Structure 1
Amino acid sequence: MINAGIFYVISILLLGLSDFSEKLKKYRYIFFFLILLVIWGGNRFNGADWINYINVYRGFNDENSILNVIYLGRFEWLFSIWMWIFSRAGIPYEGFVASIALVNILCLLWVIKKVRIESIGLCLITLFLIEGWTLYHEQLRQAIALSICLVAAVHFLNNRKRLAYFLIVFSTGFHSSAFFSLLFFYVINRVLRRKNAPLSLHEIILTSLAIVSSVGIVVVAMKLGVLNLIGLSRLQEKFEYYETDQLSGSSLINVGMIAYLLGFCILLWYRKTVLRQRVAWLSFAWSMAILWCFLGPWLRIFAIFTRFEHYLIIFIPFAVCVYSSSADQNVKQIAQRTLITILFSATFFIRIALNPEHQIWVLNYQNVFVSLIFDMHLDNVDVRKDVICENFSQYDNNFCGEFSSK
């Protein structure tokens, strides 16, 4: 048994080594790859989404028709096919999770290398604290979809637009929310037209209002049951589940809303640096991150739309770490920005760790690789499932009995 907090602290220290150790810088991509593979690839039965995944994974072992997998599968078609292949091959569920982590890590490191981030360790620490658990630990489908969308954004920025659009369409095969990333292309075009300058606050506000209006129309359509009439019954079912489920809605309007204000202040602090650098990716990342500050509170009105936040908040690490060690900053400025960035990012994991519903897996974190290295006990899958489902029932949440795939 290991506390997730201890595991996170150790992981953060390891990720930060490359920014301070000259010996590691030469091999830092290999170093980062191995660390992230242990963290995400070894992830085992933490959170709740895995309960849905492993039930389907077991069922695919007896499924012979790929057409049934595509048309009758519970998840998006590419994710279902991937899951089916691994299940039919007799590979344990943990191997499937590791394969998802492998693709995510390769995509992230490819993006980091292409956009020439200087403080890679700080960028990964920030990303790890903000999205390491909620996205890359739990929401496997959306994690791989978003990783592919980041690759698409780099290609679009390099004028490989057909490939970029193809990757977005491809990523929807893993999670339907990936269509939201078409916003990337609009923002990139605006940045390029502004000669690599970030969007102005006026443009940010107008863009936010347009998206809020669109979300409002979708909400009205869902409430009227229009989605059932146009063949999107599963999306309608999701909406009804998240609208009534207490645990899913517990993250809506609460103290976490302060994060948007803090993020806004930090990003405004970085705006002068972004304007001075005039680097397209940096301006794009900053614009997407500031959009999160405006759109996040609105998206959280309905729990089903919170997954769109990932397509915005993922850019905070890129916005504040790309040139954080530039020569035009002194040591004191770098230290201040580094400390503030890490403290802000840490609030995301702290809120998760302190949530009573999450204590069951925070206090008993499960990792395959850590278990092998230190000969630690791993819970049996059915025992782990029963413990988590019982924990949910204490909070009047029937996650294990209701439709709850995300």
Structure 2
Amino acid sequence: MTDSMRSTPPAARGRSRPERRFDWRGLRSDARAAVPDASLALLVTGLVFWWLWVRVENGTSATTRVMPFLADAPGYWLYWLCQAFGWTGLLWAYVTVVFGLLRSGARPPWRWLSAARVEKWHRTTSLTTIGLMFCHAAAFFGAEVQANFEGQPADELVWGAFLESFVPGGYTTGTGRIAILIGLLALYLGIVLGLAFYVRQTTGSRLWRALHRFVIVVYVLSVWHTLLYGTNVWFDGSFRTLVWALQMPLAGLLLLRLLAPARPSERLRLRGPGRESRPLPLTARAAGRLAVLATIAGLAAVIASGTDGGRSPDGASSGPWPEQWVIWAGLLALTLVLVVVVHRLRPSRQAAARATAQDEGDRPADRARRVG
């Protein structure tokens, strides 16, 4: 310790080094750990891109039945790259949700599937998913520029493509005015809720866990966006039914997570550890379990009937539903719920530090020795 440090009171030294509100070190570490995962995702994207290209070339793509001009695959390669990133992003979203549910719920009794390993996989696949979602939107932006390249000034073309690709509500025609709005909400909510992990030292672990549970909304919006606007599954058919069927194991895992959470404090009990009555948490948790049960029943009905409201190849298409105001109203409701959660669970600075230290198994004395 230098003479200047000895002469500086501890309180002043603490004020000169404020706590970081964002864990950049942790993010950089997770980003490096995600390199193999992201490389695999890019490889899968390339395979999906090739598969979509082959279907266009041999005339079996459902997309070209909806938009025949896209049969020129080399001329609209950015659109097909956008579709490939979208499908890979949905696959990685599925995987990271599975890891998240395994981490926070009852895990299989396999020794190699430790909590630390599952959590690491969950963090890396989450970062990869966010990257794939952004690449999906960026490729759509490029496809919009490519499709309207002729006949418009460059600045108007780029600005118009940006509005349609990155501004919620900016796409105002056809099915896209609903589907792209839903997709952009999933993108931005995914970035905010996914990266909230790296501000847990400020919010406290309890508030972060409460906010992170809403990531399941991002996944639901992503599936909705895909089935509404993914032209590869535009029509009713076996592949569309398969997409629905794959949601069944995920819904079952979510129900298992709610019925057997890893934390005893999250179990459905009428009274808390101190024997105090807890009607509000009990009602909220019971409602969540009933909602998942209803979702499973709905998925079973869709799979059994093969009908989910998708378009028929030979029938007239119905108008986009719901209206945009319904989506905005749902976003407002979700925002209000998040505000209530933050207000109810926001900790003091000292409580946040204690909760984070306890959650990570890091004692204050250990931190003091490392600093010294």
TM-score norm. by structure 2 comes to 0.29
Larger Rg: 2
Work out which structure has the larger RCO, using CA pairs closer than 8 Å and 6 or more positions apart in sequence.
Answer: 1
TM-score norm. by structure 1 comes to 0.27
